[in-house]
């Protein structure tokens, strides 16, 4: 499946050039638009670990192209090329632990590798391009389904960055906001999303590129925003959804869900079915990434003798009971806690 022109309209976090993967360095946005060339799987793994590429679906797509680069490098050079590619797949799998899209995409690539083909490179590239294009198509579908739920809403709050930068293009929660904005007036609020500021640096930038007005708030202003009655929905993406409907997403999501319940605000999760981990029943089984304390600590506390430390979990789990709707490309599950979670989408 090739991407249509309309599907390519949004900013591209990842671009396949034919012999390299161009990765937009998201740590430098919004001030600098710099693409780095990843020439092998090791470069891709580093780009993921260092957060140059981030966001669950984008991580999966980048890893898929990482496997293409591995096959390109080893196929012509060694009789043992498959073992070398498998070692690269293991390296890519270790790049980040929480987003299940990474493991899903690598499984797809492994399945393609295991099939006999006269041209393994062409087969593996076709698989990566299909994963990429299907993600964009899923986002457009979810955009419409989510926008249906927003009919008549006056305001929404989103968290982290779930847009074109975090996906193959268009976005999940931000895709819903894009689609809704085409249909109706909507006040969009974005939480800044400490400590990496994905909301302030990435979401605000993406929306402003498309002339969609957005109001940035400090994460700690969310309760007060809800109290004013300005928003009807919180809309977020997901890094992993378990079969019962629990959702792992950017740290702070759980807090927003608790606040939403307190204030009668509805809570929407938007994610493709590639974000569902069918093998896990509930959220307490998800591995939550903890990143370096240095990402939080001011420099003055980094000296060895400092007694100031930091705890830096970068995801949390929102229990299904706090979720009003889970929107996927296969359909919407309303009040997932009252049914069988997301199992009906399988
Ligand atoms: O640490 P990040 O920036 O990779 O975290 C990203 C998020 O938590 C997103 O909200 C999630 O991946 C959904 S992206 C479509």
Q: If you measure from the C-alpha of residue 212 to the centroid of ligand 1, how many angstroms do you get, rounded to a whole number?
A: 21
Q: 158 CB less than 6 Å from ligand 1?
A: no
pLDDT mean over 207-231: 97
Residue 275's closest CA among 119, 153, 104? Answer: 104
Measured distance CA(120)–CA(68) in Å, rounded: 10
Atom of ligand 1 nearest to the CA of 163: 15
Q: 56 CB less than 6 Å from ligand 1?
A: yes
For residue 1, pLDDT over 60 is answered with no
Q: How confident is the model at residue 76 (pLDDT cuts 50, 70, 90)?
A: confident
Q: If you measure from the C-alpha of residue 238 to the centroid of ligand 1, how many angstroms do you get, rounded to a whole number?
A: 7
How much of the chain, in percent, has pLDDT values that exceed 70? 97
pLDDT digits (tens, 9 = 90+) for 277-324: 999 999 999 999 999 999 999 999 998 899 999 999 999 999 999 999
Q: In what order do the strands lie in the sheet with 240-242?
A: 276-277, 240-242, 247-250, 315-318
Atom of ligand 1 nearest to the CA of 99: 12
pLDDT digits (tens, 9 = 90+) for 19-71: 999 999 999 999 999 999 999 999 999 999 999 999 999 999 999 999 999 99
Residue nearest (by alpha carbon) to ligand 1 atom 6: 55
Q: 172 CB less than 6 Å from ligand 1?
A: yes
Atom of ligand 1 nearest to the CA of 271: 15
Catalytic residue among 88, 232, 239, 277: 239
Q: How confident is the model at residue 2 (pLDDT cuts 50, 70, 90)?
A: low
Q: 318 CB less than 6 Å from ligand 1?
A: no
- pLDDT confidence of residue 77: 86
Q: How confident is the model at residue 8 (pLDDT cuts 50, 70, 90)?
A: low
Residue nearest (by alpha carbon) to ligand 1 atom 8: 250
Measured distance CA(278)–CA(19) in Å, rounded: 34
Q: 345 CB less than 6 Å from ligand 1?
A: no
pLDDT mean over 135-150: 98
For residue 129, pLDDT over 60 is answered with yes
Q: If you measure from the C-alpha of residue 176 to the centroid of ligand 1, how many angstroms do you get, rounded to a whole number?
A: 15
Q: If you measure from the C-alpha of residue 4 to the centroid of ligand 1, how many angstroms do you get, rounded to a whole number?
A: 25
Could you give all domains of the chain from N- to C-terminal order, each with its CATH number? 5-137 (1.20.120.420), 143-345 (3.40.50.10470)
For residue 10, pLDDT over 90 is answered with no
- pLDDT confidence of residue 317: 98
pLDDT mean over 161-168: 98
- pLDDT confidence of residue 79: 83
Q: If you measure from the C-alpha of residue 55 to the centroid of ligand 1, how many angstroms do you get, rounded to a whole number?
A: 4
Average pLDDT, the chain: 95
Q: 160 CB less than 6 Å from ligand 1?
A: yes
Is 37 one of the annotated active-site residues of the chain? no
Q: If you measure from the C-alpha of residue 344 to the centroid of ligand 1, how many angstroms do you get, rounded to a whole number?
A: 25
Using an 8 Å Cβ cutoff, are 289 and 265 in contact? no
Hey, which residues does 128 pair with through a beta bridge? Answer: none
Q: Which residue has the tokens 């995409």?
A: 105
pLDDT digits (tens, 9 = 90+) for 336-345: 999 999 999 9
pLDDT digits (tens, 9 = 90+) for 223-240: 999 999 999 999 999 999
Ligand 1 mutation pick, 60, 102, 103, 161, max ligand atoms within 8 A of CB = 161
For residue 9, pLDDT over 80 is answered with no
Q: If you measure from the C-alpha of residue 307 to the centroid of ligand 1, how many angstroms do you get, rounded to a whole number?
A: 31
Residue nearest (by alpha carbon) to ligand 1 atom 10: 237
Q: 57 CB less than 6 Å from ligand 1?
A: yes
pLDDT mean over 169-193: 97
Q: 250 CB less than 6 Å from ligand 1?
A: yes
Omega into 251 within 30° of 0, i.e. cis? no
């Amino acid at each position: 499946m090739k991407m249509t022109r309309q599907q390519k309209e949004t900013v591209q976090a990842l671009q396949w050039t034919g012999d390299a993967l161009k990765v937009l360095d998201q740590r430098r946005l919004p001030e600098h638009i710099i693409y780095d060339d990843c020439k092998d799987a090791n470069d891709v793994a580093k780009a993921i670990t260092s957060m140059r590429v981030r966001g669950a679906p984008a991580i999966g797509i980048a890893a898929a192209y990482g496997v293409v680069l591995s096959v390109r490098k080893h196929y012509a050079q060694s009789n043992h090329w498959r073992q070398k590619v498998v070692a690269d797949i293991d390296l890519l799998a270790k790049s980040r632990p929480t987003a299940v899209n990474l493991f899903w995409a690598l499984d797809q690539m492994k399945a393609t590798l295991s099939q006999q083909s006269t041209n393994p490179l062409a087969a593996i590239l076709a698989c990566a391009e299909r994963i990429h294009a299907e993600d964009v198509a899923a986002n457009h579908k979810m955009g419409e389904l989510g926008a249906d739920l927003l009919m008549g809403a006056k305001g929404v709050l989103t968290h982290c960055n779930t847009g074109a930068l975090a996906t193959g293009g268009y976005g999940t929660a931000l895709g819903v906001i894009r689609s809704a904005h085409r249909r109706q007036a909507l006040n969009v609020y974005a939480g800044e999303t400490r400590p990496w500021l994905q909301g302030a640096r990435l979401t605000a930038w993406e929306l402003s590129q498309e002339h969609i007005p957005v109001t940035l708030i400090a994460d700690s202003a969310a309760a007060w925003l809800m109290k004013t009655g300005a928003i009807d929905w919180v809309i977020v993406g997901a890094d992993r959804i378990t079969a019962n409907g629990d959702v792992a997403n950017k740290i702070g999501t759980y807090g927003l869900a608790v606040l939403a319940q307190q204030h009668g605000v509805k809570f929407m999760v938007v994610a493709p079915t590639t974000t569902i981990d069918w093998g896990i029943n509930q959220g307490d089984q998800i591995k939550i990434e903890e990143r370096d304390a240095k990402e939080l600590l001011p420099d003055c506390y980094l000296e060895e003798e400092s007694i100031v430390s930091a705890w830096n979990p970068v995801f949390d789990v929102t229990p299904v009971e706090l979720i009003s709707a889970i929107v996927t490309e296969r359909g919407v599950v309303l009040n997932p806690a009252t049914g069988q979670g997301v199992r009906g989408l399988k």
